[in-house]
Every structure is written in C-alpha cells, then in structure tokens.
Chains A and B, each alone.
Chain A
Amino acid sequence: MLSGILIFNQKGENLIFRAFRSDCRPRLADIFRIQVISNPQVRSPILTLGSTTFSHVKHENIYLVAVTKSNANAALVFEFLYRLILLGKSYFTKFDEEAVKNNFVLIYELLDEILDFGYPQNTETDTLKMYITTEGVKSAIANSPTDSSRITMQATGALSWRRSDIKYRKNEAFVDVIEDVNLLMSATGTVLRADVNGQIVMRAYLSGTPECKFGLNDRLLLDTSDTSGASKSRGGGGTSGAGKTTRAAAGSVTLEDCQFHQCVKLGRFDADRIISFVPPDGEFELMRYRATENVNLPFKVHPIVREIGTTKVEYSVAIKANYSAKLFATNVVIRIPTPLNTAKTTERTSQGRAKYEPEQNNIVWKIPRFSGQAEFVLNAEATLTSMTHQKAWSRPPLSLSFSLLMFTSSGLLVRYLKVFEKGNYSSVKWVRYMTRAGSYEIR
C-alpha cells in the first residue's frame, strides 16, 4: 500500500517526510518537486514514474502527496489524503504551511497512528483526540494504564466512535438539515441541471449509549410502511416508477442516493429502510443525500449580457425570489463576470450594493436580506480598454451564493427522531433547515 506520505509547501520545500516502507527513499521528494511542483504542465493528480506513483492533493498552500509502489487502490489513497486534511483541519482549524511547520511533531505522531506499514488504521478524529493532543496533557492520561486501555478499547471497538461514560444533565439533540442546491441554467433560461446535495448534521449531547431512530419523508421510507420489507429489497426498482408523481404531491421526497456516517447500521437500512444508530458524542455528519426530482429553485435569475463592439459590455440582471414571502434569504451575493480587460464599470441596482472587484474580474452584487417573492434588478456597463491582441472572452457563468433558513429545496422534512436508552431519560430535539447555494450558475 502506501509507501510514504510527504507534505510540501508551494515552493516545493519538503515539510513532512514519513516513510512507511523501506522503498520510500528521501530522493523521492526531489523527484516530486521537479516533476510536479515546478512543472506547470502537470494536469493530473496521479503521476507514475517507473515503479513509483505519486498521488497528490492540493489544500490551502500545501501539497499532500502519497507515494505508492504497487498497483495501489487509487480511490483509497485519495480518500485517505482527504481524511488527513480533515484531521488537520480539526486539529489546527486551518491546515496550511504555517500549521504544518508549527505542529510537525504532532503530525508525525498522527501519521504514526493512522498509518501502519502503509495501511490506514483508525482515522476517527474524536478517538484520536483522546490520546494525541496539541497540549502535553495527554501524557498524563495515557500514562495511566487503566485510562489507556479504555482508549485502546475505543480505538478498536465496535463502537469506535463513542465513549461509554458520557453524562449530560440535560439531554439534547440538534439536527441541522443543510442543502446545497446546484443549478446550471443556460443563457436562455432552461434548466440544464438542478440537483440537491444535502447533509444532515447532528449535534448529540446524550448520556449513556443511546440508540436513535431517525425518520424522513423519503418516498422509499414511506413506501415500506405499506409493503413488506423483504419484497422491497428485491423488486423495489420496478414498482417505484408509477407512484412517483403522486407521492411527490403527497409531500414525500425521492432521495436518489444516501450515504451514512459509519455509526448507522447499513444492513438495517438496506433491509427495511430504518436509519438507526448510536451517535458519536458532539457534532457529526449523520448522512448525505442527493435529490434530483422536484427541486425547488429559490432564485430565478435572468441575465442579459450584450457585447457592444469591442469596447463595452452591457448587463441587465434580474433576480426573483421564488419562496414564500414569510421567509427571507441572507447574504445573497451575485457574481457577474466581466472581461479581463475591463477598465471601469458603472452599476445601478434596485436593492443592495454592487461593486467591481478587479482582482476577481467580477461585479459583486450583495443583497444582505432578500425577502420572499421580491424581485430586484441590476443594470451595469463595463468599459473595456483596447488590447493589443484580441483574446476571446470565455464568458464564465454568473454565480450566486445565498443562505436561506427554514427552506429545503428538495422538500425534505424530518419526521421523527427517537432516542432509546437504558436510563430512559427524556431528551429534547431541535431541527433546523437551511438551503445554501452549491454551484448555482447561470451561463
């Protein structure tokens, strides 16, 4: 598997070099620097030279590189690198050159723990934080054998994500349903692609070892209530087509696909579509899902862009909110790309402020609060300087970002969250919905 993990800064200096196998030699660092970092033509994340393969990921201002020698599992290598980034972020909030330089001892320690002989081991942040910490405190804990045997139990146990002795005075669980709407709309207003990437983030502050059951208005979940579970898993695909439209009308949602945190019992979900799990303590991502049918688009944008000769571009952008008047979106930002040779711009808006940002080649139109059903317009004009050689403007798409509370584009709702625990305590649950812009682009 992995022969070594290397971290570089943008200049190509080797910040971390950890070999896990004898075939990862120091010289490889130079080879990667020459072949990838100082080579502007590299366009692939994977490079094989002879028997050595470098797989790299760029994050902030560092390169994370995995060296492999055999026909390694490429998906695993990249997933691992991204997990390393995630770990780095949760340890140092920002995982960049600065953080690596300041914490290199800790990083070596982490690498030692999460990889053994090049095989990934436990990479759960919460577990690792129990015995690898930024402060020196951990030595105290880890040195007493009873504590550390507890830690190792958790690091390898079936519930590797949860300690057994958690106690809260007040038992609470917060559920956030966060949806990223992706839209690709053509210049004429046809929707080319619209889908929702949702995630359900849970913050659980529950005592003991609680067993949770979670219900959504997913069409398949609702379906199972009338058909038996066994027949469902076999022939489910065939019968579902007919019920689609009626179900959608009845307020259920078709989830194209879902993925769960490892605490969810996948076998159970597969058999009878019940999401049941023992949650880790604190915040975690319970599930991710994808929906493509009946996506409610919160905003409609109508851009008109006219290039007048070679010296001027005229914009007229209208944006309309498509949700109930009771709700309002915040931080609505519309980025309107301008040609690279824009000299100056003039903008008029019916709401919010627009500003030209030369370094981004954008006109940025910000509307801090956008109430439902409202419609605003921006008129702008960009004057261009003449260039010595005319290069075509690629016309990047307009992009939109926003966040909208208590609205889900897919129409997903949490129907119930039940907590069962030996102690039989009552718990308080909170649910919050939010829709954000994923890549919301209009050509």
Chain B
Amino acid sequence: MAMNKIRGAFAVPRKGETFELRAGLVSQYAYERKESIQKTIMAMTLGKDVSALFPDVLKNIATADLEQKKLVYLYLMNYAKSHPDLCILAVNTFVQDSEDPNPLIRALAIRTMGCIRVEKMVDYMEEPLRKTLRDESPYVRKTAAICVAKLFDLNSSLCLENGFLEMLQEMIGDPNPMVVANSVTALSEIHHTAPETNALQVTPNTLRKMLMALNECTEWGRVTILSTLAEYRAADIKESEHICERVSPQFQHVNASVVLAAVKVVFLHMKYVGPELAKTYLKKMAPPLVTLVSSAPEVQYVALRNIDLLLQKQPDILNKELRVFFCKYNDPPYVKFQKLEIMVRIANDKNVDQLLAELKEYAMEVDMDFVRRAVKAIGQVAIKIESASEKCVNTLLDLINLKVNYVVQEAIVVIRDIFRKYPGYEGIIPTLCQCIDELDEPNARAALIWIVGEYAEKISNAGDILGGFVDGFNEEFSQTQLQILTAVVKLFLKRPEKAQGLVQRVLQAATAENDNPDVRDRAYIYWRLLSNTSDQDATKSIVLSDKPPIVTTISSLPPALLERLLQELSTLSSVYHKPPEQFVGQGRFGADAVQQAAIEEQLQNARENPLAAAAAAAVSGTTPPAQAQNNVENLLDIDFDGGAPASAHKNESGGMSGLGGLAGTPVRVQSPAVGAPAPAPAGSNNLDDLLGVFGDSGPSQPSSSGANGSGAAGDLMNGFSGLDLSGSTSPANSNQPKKTNEDILSLF
C-alpha cells in the first residue's frame, strides 16, 4: 500500500496543465512546440513550478528559430539549478551556437551560458568565452565582456587562472566604445566585489581611452565610465583639469543619470583645480541641476535629494533659482517635502519675501503633514535670516489667526524656537495665550508652557495659566510635565509672592504621585535647589541662566558624513543620506545583527513617537512585562517580514532557506522625506545623537530638557539590548533608574 502511494506521487501526472504542456512540447509540429514553450514561460511567470518539464523543453533547444531559442534559454536560466545534471545536455548546443556565423546567436549563447549558474557548466565555458572575447563582431565582444563578470561571480579562481581579467583590461583599448564601456563595467564590478584583484586600475592610458569612449558610447555606458572616473584620484592638478574639461559637456545630456554622474565627477575633481576654474564649473552645473527638477517625479526626487547634499557643501550655487523649487499642486508628497527643505536652504535676504508668501500659501493647504512642514519652514527661515524674522513672526501670527488646529500647534512650537533666538518679540505673547485651549499635542503644550515660564515676569496672569496646568498635572505627557515643573519654578523665582503655593503643589505632584523617574528626578533637583537658603542667587543663576544661542534649526549632516555622501552622489545612499553599509545588508543576519536591527527599529519607532517610547522605557523600570512583550512582538513582526512569505513558498522553491534569504533582514529604511509626522526636536535630537547618524542640531533644544532626554534615550538603549537578548528584562536594567536617582540625590 505504502509503496503504491509513493510510486503514485512520483509518477508523471496524466492530466492537468503540466501534462498538456508536455504533450505540446514533444509534438511533431513545430508551431505546436513553440506555442507550448510560450505557455510554459507564461506559467513560469505566474509563479507555477514548471521545472518538471525541464527535459522536454530542453529537447527544443536545437532550433533555427531564434525566437524559440531565446525562450528555451530563458527557461534554462530559470530552472538550471533544479536540474544541474540535465544542463550538460544543453552544453553542446551552447558551444555550437557560440561558433555560429550569426553574431546575434553567438552573443546570445555566451550571454545565456553565463546566466546558467551550475558548477558543471563552468568547465565548458572557458573555451567559448576565450573565443568570443576575441570575436570580430563588437556586439559579441561586448557581451562576452559582461560574461567575464558573471564567471567571476560564479567561480573567481577559474576566472583568474585563465587570465580573463587581463584580457578584459586589454579590452579597455578596444576601438569600439561599447566594448570599452562594458569592459569597464565588468572590471569595476569585479573590483568592487573583490578589491584584492585590483581589477580596475586607471592608468594615464586607460584614462585616455575612457575619455575617448565617453563621447561615443551609449548613455548607460557613459554612466559607468563617469562613475569610474569619479572614484579615480587624479595624479595631479593637470589631470583633474583635463577630466573636468572633458566631462563637463555631459551636463547637457538628456539622460538625468548621465547628468548626475557628470556632476559627481566634476564636483569631486573640482577640489583639486584652481578656485577660479572651480567657480566656473559650479556656475556651469547649476542650470543642468535645475533642469533635473522638471523631470519625472521619481527622477526628480533622486535629483532633489542630491541637490540637498550639494547645497550643504556649496550653499550658494542655486541661490537665484528659488522659483524652480515652488511646489506644484499635483507634485507627489515626497517631492513637495524635499522641495520645502531645499527652498529653506537657499533662502537669503533677497528672496525671502517671495519665499514667505509661498510658504504661507502652503500652510493654508489641506494636507496636514505638508502644512506642518511649511509652518516649520517659516520658523527655520526666521532663525536663518535675522532681517526677515519680523515678517516671519507676522506670517505665523496670521496663520494662528486662521484658527486651524494643527497649524496653531505647529506655529507655537516654531515660535518657541524663535523666542530662543530673538527674545524681543514678547508683544505677541497675549495672542499665543489665547490659543491655550486648542493645544492638545504634548509638544505644542510644552512649547507654550516654556514660553510662559520664560516670560513669567511680563505675563500678568502667568500664575493662573500655570495653575490650570498644575491642576491636571498627572494627566499630562511627561514631556509637558517637565516643562510645567520648570515653568512654575521659574515663575516662583521671578515672582515668589505669587507662586508659593503653586510650587509646593507641583513639586508634591511630581515627586509623590508621579511614576516617571525623569520627572521625579527633576522635581527633586528643584526641591533641593529651592530649599537651599544659604545662597538665594545660586538657585537663580542655575535655573534662570542664559541659554546657549541657537544658530540654525535647519538640520545638516556632520561634515565627515557629508564628505562621504558626496562620493556617493546619485546612488541610493545619497537618497537616504546614509552611508551604504547602514542599509545594504549582507542577506543573512547573525544573532548580533538581528539584535542590532531590533534596536534600530525601536529607535526608529522612538524617533517617530519619542514620548510614548520614552514613557515606555521609563515605565519599564516598574512594569517590565509590558515592555518585554512589546519587544517580543516586535521581533515577531520582524520575522514576519521575510519569514511569512518564505514559509509559504518553501516547498516550491526547494533549497531556499526559510528566514534568512533575501528579504530576511528586517531593518526597514524609510525614505527620509516620507517619515511620519515631524519628530519633536528635543526627543529626536538625543536619539539621533545616539545613533551617531545625523550629528547634532543640539542648540535648537532648550537646554533644560537636554540632560533628561538623553538619559531617557540611554535607558531605552539599555532596555532594548537587555530585552532583545533574553526576551525579559534583566534585573540590572530595572535597577538603573533608581540608581541614577540616588546618584543625583547624593550629589546634593
């Protein structure tokens, strides 16, 4: 019985699609065979497993019909792995085809051979490849050049032994530009996967050859050559000048990727030429960059991200082109956000009026995310350009008067930053205080409270306002609580007679009834300070000290990272503004990497919602299970990303590993312009610093929140590493907050 069953499972099915296809494939009529091959390919695309037909498809390989040959080859490439033994049967045809009088067929044979990734095939490839590399037809030669890269990928030692690399290096001198381009492509690929081979060495001779080919080969070939030139360090100034001169005509190319590649070459080599000449090139590259902004939205997006980088290095190359970056009504959001950032970057005192009018227009649109960014941009402009600050403030007041809830909230946050830089705008405080009831976001509430505390001596009803907040102290988010605490203390120091009771109440609430160690810590500090009777002024000079001035609120990359990214212009890395190793994983992840990934994801979440995360981290001291579960869930989620589809397909795709494989790595990199609502400045800063990615825009945050914020983030980090390893909180971790508590207390 059992035997029968097993035999049944292995027998060829008598009916169904596979059966019909098989019948067609072995039909005596040529057209029926061809049709069946087409159907087989169709089924393959739909994800059906038609590898069982391998021998039957293979029978059709020897044909004069080129189209049919291509289809069979396509099938072979897909299923060669599942039938490595049978592939040998095809070898003969390949070898024959590689000597066909028709160059198209020769090229097709060598191209396909390289794509059949079976060890046994490699042995037979050597001879045809050697021949085709020296073929009389450039079409075959250029195909063979790429095939060397394929062979290297498959079996590098064989490739080296047979001297294919040397042959390729010779081919850079080929008279045909496309052969040159493809040889460079292949060599550069080999060079990048195995730097020790030193495959692509640019000598004065090869440099000359490449520059010659640059003007004649296809656009894609140009990109390759240009990328190689960008990586090359010129021997002397003369050579740099020469490269710039030869490359700059490519700015006029119609293909955006050629333009960007040319910009990259000139930008990198420009450093070595004289300042005068460099200036000319900067001027020359501005119009092509602007033209990129009118291309298709996706290309535009890449271009805008790159322009952002270039502007950070050379802030004034585009300062006359503000209008080009005005958002169109139907621009996709990712393009709009990026345009906003660039407009702020190129704002100066000449174009600021125009920009403000435009930003105000955006702030009245309906897309909430966009509106918030527009309001934020107004604040950034105010802080960047002192002479425009008054106009900016007036614009913000106009917007507040529209009484649109989210506009008001964002505007208040922005105005807080403006007060940090220009304390003189106190006249607008009454208007701000009127909106107090509309604010429901912790960030906006905190901002307003900070303003009230800062100007406590000038706001007659400051006590009443803060009193209202103190009443609901325990319902507030911790971020707001911290600000209430600080503001009340400031009020007390400035006008002790009014706030005596208030201070008592708030300190009581913060120390006795609050669970958040940060809030408690800060309250204890204030308590100690206030009960210090020996030197009243000491308290004042601590709490009411001068804050370090804000220089800018526009985020910019740290110089080292910027330098690094400029080398990567037009690549994904330049789109993400991150060095490649941060998002290009190695496929499979070890335990360390999974943990690292989980931490990063948590931090990503934390960045999007700093408060909740901080709260969660803080809470973890007292209620570990919730946090632990949270983490475990997250880990499950991560597995889900790659794992769920993997398991679904496991049977079909044979030897593939379940989780590991391609999408296994769980880090999700989001395009920067598309993140969730703008993160709160203080929270995100600390987290960013931790990651060491974005550098600091530190001065933008009120100094008072600095210390505790980073503390929270540190806890976060600890919490996660502990949790991710074991799935439950380690005791050391839960002790941490308490310990810091004691430390601080013992200080006094």
Contact = CB atoms under 8 A, between A and B. Distances in A.
Interface in A70-99: 70-76, 78-82
A23 interface: yes
A386 interface: no
A43 B334 contact: yes
Given A48-B668, A76-B261, A193-B326, 12 more contacts: A26-B649, A44-B673, A51-B585, A70-B580, A75-B261, A75-B303, A104-B41, A120-B220, A139-B66, A152-B107, A156-B178, A267-B215
Contact of A73 (B46, B178, B227, B301): B227
Contacts of A73: 223, 227, 257, 261, 570-571
B323 to A, nearest CB: 4
Nearest to A257: B287
A77 B642 CA distance: 24
Interface string A255-266: 011111110011
Interface in B258-277: 259-261, 277
A117 B154 CA distance: 13
Nearest to A256: B287
B176 interface: yes
Contacts of A181: none
A357 B224 CA distance: 50
Nearest to B42: A104
Contacts of A16: 45
Contacts of B326: 184, 192-193
Contacts of B182: 116, 119, 121
A423 interface: no
Contacts of A68: 572
Which 5 pairs, one residue from A and one from B, show the smallest C-beta to C-beta distance?
A: A50-B665, A152-B139, A257-B287, A44-B671, A71-B580
B67 interface: yes
A29 B663 contact: no
A269 B570 contact: no
Contacts of B147: 117
B256 A23 contact: no
A260 B253 contact: yes
Interface in B293-311: 294, 296-299, 301-303, 306
A30 interface: yes
Interface stretch (B358-366, B424-432, B438-446, B610-618): B358-366
Given A262-B254, A439-B328, A152 B140 contact: yes
A151 interface: yes
A25 to B, nearest CB: 5
Given A25-B662, A27-B645, A50-B666, A121 B218 contact: yes
Contact of B298 (A78, A262, A267): A78
A416 interface: no
A330 B669 CA distance: 49
Interface string B208-250: 0000000110111001100100000000000000000010111
Nearest to B64: A143
Given A50-B663, A50-B667, A75-B303, A44 B334 contact: yes
B572 A260 contact: no
Contact of B664 (A15, A50, A158, A262): A50
Contacts of A82: 296, 299
Contacts of B671: 43-44, 46-47
B290 A52 contact: no
Nearest to A29: B47
Interface stretch (A204-212, A373-381, A392-400): A392-400
26 contacts: A26-B652, A26-B653, A47-B671, A48-B669, A49-B665, A50-B641, A52-B662, A76-B570, A79-B299, A82-B299, A108-B70, A117-B150, A142-B66, A144-B102, A152-B104, A152-B138, A155-B139, A158-B216, A160-B218, A197-B294, A262-B253, A262-B254, A292-B323, A392-B366, A393-B366, A443-B361
A124 B220 CA distance: 11
Contacts of A184: 326, 328
A234 B298 contact: no
B45 A23 contact: no
B177 interface: yes
A141 B459 CA distance: 89
Given A26-B649, A152-B138, A260-B254, A74 B575 contact: yes
Contact of A45 (B298, B649, B666, B668): B298
Nearest to B283: A237
B143 A116 contact: yes
Given A44-B671, A143-B64, A259 B571 contact: no
A61 interface: no
Contacts of A28: 662-663
Most chain-B CB neighbours within 10 Å: which of A74, A148, A151, A152? A74
A40 interface: no
Interface string B622-666: 000000000000000000011001101100110010000111111
A30 B218 contact: no
Contact of A441 (B104, B178, B329): B329
Nearest to B67: A139
A397 B365 CA distance: 11
B601 to A, nearest CB: 12
Nearest to A286: B254
B74 to A, nearest CB: 6
A250 to B, nearest CB: 22
Contacts of A105: 38, 41, 67, 71
Nearest to B354: A192
Most chain-A CB neighbours within 10 Å: which of B66, B143, B645? B66
B245 to A, nearest CB: 9
A39 to B, nearest CB: 12
Interface string B130-155: 00000001111011001101100000
B39 to A, nearest CB: 10
B178 A43 contact: no
B724 to A, nearest CB: 17
Contact of B584 (A51, A143, A195): A51
B661 A116 contact: no
A52 B663 contact: yes
Most chain-A CB neighbours within 10 Å: which of B64, B249, B288? B249
B645 A34 contact: yes
A152 B250 contact: no
A72 B571 contact: yes
Contacts of A283: none
A55 B298 contact: yes
Nearest to A13: B46
Contact of A30 (B45, B223, B294, B645): B645
Contact of B252 (A72, A78, A138, A270): A270
Given A16-B45, A261-B254, A443-B361, A193 B219 contact: no
Nearest to A45: B298
